[in-house]
């Protein structure tokens, strides 16, 4: 019973930051694609922060909620990819690079913003405010999940953003060969998750998250009192 209550508490604190992280990630792809001449996302109603058009029932709800309730210690999920047509870019290679990098970059910015909110709540919100603890928990989780999503999406596994960044530097022939890996991608990703190897790959995200939180704490005059 206690484990179930802890899982529900984690779900309450973490689900909203995870949703925001995934939705803003996809929005950033569509926003930058439009700047490079591709209005596909806008034309299909996907250039929006309304979560409903971005929700993938399995990746956005079932899988992450299930992993939270099972207490796996690692949450994996995705939103419905924003449609991108690189053929409409003003310049193909730089367009593909910046559109692909936009999603992880948005997550890094959200992590930094969350760290500032985390420190601001600790500094300015009264201790007797009933929602202080859950708000602190949500901001803290938001730092971590955004950096994890950024690092995960930068892995060079098709069709993750990292693979598109690499493809922006490849010849058409090399791109075709590289994309042929995609049929193995799901197995590779699941293997990394369930063997625990993903924790090693994403360890830098935890280190950067700690730096962000400590930096924000110092900025708001909290010193080293976070215990990170």
Hey, is 142 helix, strand or coil?
A: helix
pLDDT of amino acid 9: 72
3-state secondary structure of 87: helix
Q: Which two tokens stand for residue 69?
A: 């309730």
**Mean pLDDT computed over 169-184:** 88
Residues 167-176: tens digit of each pLDDT: 999 998 898 8
Whether 42 shows a pLDDT value over 70: the answer reads yes
CB 149 within 8 A of CB 91: no
pTM for this model (two decimals): 0.90
1 has a pLDDT exceeding 60: no
pLDDT for 115: 97
**How does pLDDT run across 140-170, given as a tens digit for each residue?**
999 999 999 999 999 999 989 999 999 999 9
Work out the average pLDDT over 74-99: 91
Structure tokens at 149: 């999503």
CA–CA separation, 143 vs 44, rounded Å? Answer: 31
Give the residue, 190 or 108, on which the prediction is more confident.
Answer: 108
State how far the Cα of 138 lies from the Cα of 118, in Å rounded to an integer.
8
Confidence of residue 66 (pLDDT cuts 50, 70, 90): confident
| Residues 2-17: tens digit of each pLDDT | 466 666 677 778 889 9
- Domain-wise residue ranges, the chain: 2-219
Judge whether 63 and 141 are in contact, CB under 8 Å: no
User: Which range among 57-61, 115-119, 137-141 shows the weakest confidence by mean pLDDT?
Assistant: 57-61
**pLDDT, the chain, mean:** 89
- pLDDT for residue 70: 74
Q: How far is CA 129 from the centre of its chain?
A: 29
Q: Which residues are catalytic?
A: 26
Please check the confidence at residue 29 and state whether its pLDDT lies above 80.
yes
Q: CA 66 to CA 87: how far, in whole Å?
A: 38
Query: Lowest-confidence range among 2-6, 34-38, 56-60, 208-212?
Result: 2-6
Confidence at residue 4, expressed as pLDDT on a 0 to 100 scale: 60
Is residue 131 within 8 Å of residue 16, measured between CB atoms?
no
Sign of the alpha-carbon dihedral angle for 137, 2, 196, 175:
negative
């Amino acid at each position: 019973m206690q484990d179930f209550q802890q899982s529900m508490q984690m779900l309450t604190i973490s689900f909203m930051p995870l949703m925001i992280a995934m939705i803003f990630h996809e929005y950033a792809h569509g926003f930058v694609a439009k700047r490079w001449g591709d209005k596909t996302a806008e034309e299909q109603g996907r250039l929006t922060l309304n979560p409903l058009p971005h929700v993938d029932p399995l990746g956005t709800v079932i899988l992450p909620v299930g992993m939270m309730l099972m207490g796996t210690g690692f949450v994996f999920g995705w939103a419905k990819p924003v449609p991108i047509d690189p053929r409409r870019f003003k310049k193909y290679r730089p367009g593909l690079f910046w559109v692909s990098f936009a999603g992880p970059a948005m997550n890094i910015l959200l992590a930094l913003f969350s760290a500032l909110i985390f420190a601001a709540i600790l500094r300015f919100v009264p201790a007797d405010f009933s929602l202080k603890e859950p708000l602190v928990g949500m901001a803290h989780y938001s730092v971590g999940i955004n950096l994890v999503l950024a690092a995960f999406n930068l892995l060079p596994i098709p069709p993750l953003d990292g693979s598109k960044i690499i493809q922006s530097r490849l010849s058409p022939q090399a791109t075709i060969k590289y994309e042929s890996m995609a049929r193995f991608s799901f197995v590779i990703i699941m293997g990394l998750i369930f063997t625990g190897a993903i924790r090693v790959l994403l360890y830098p995200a935890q280190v950067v998250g700690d730096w962000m939180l400590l930096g924000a704490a110092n900025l708001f005059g909290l010193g080293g009192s976070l215990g990170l």
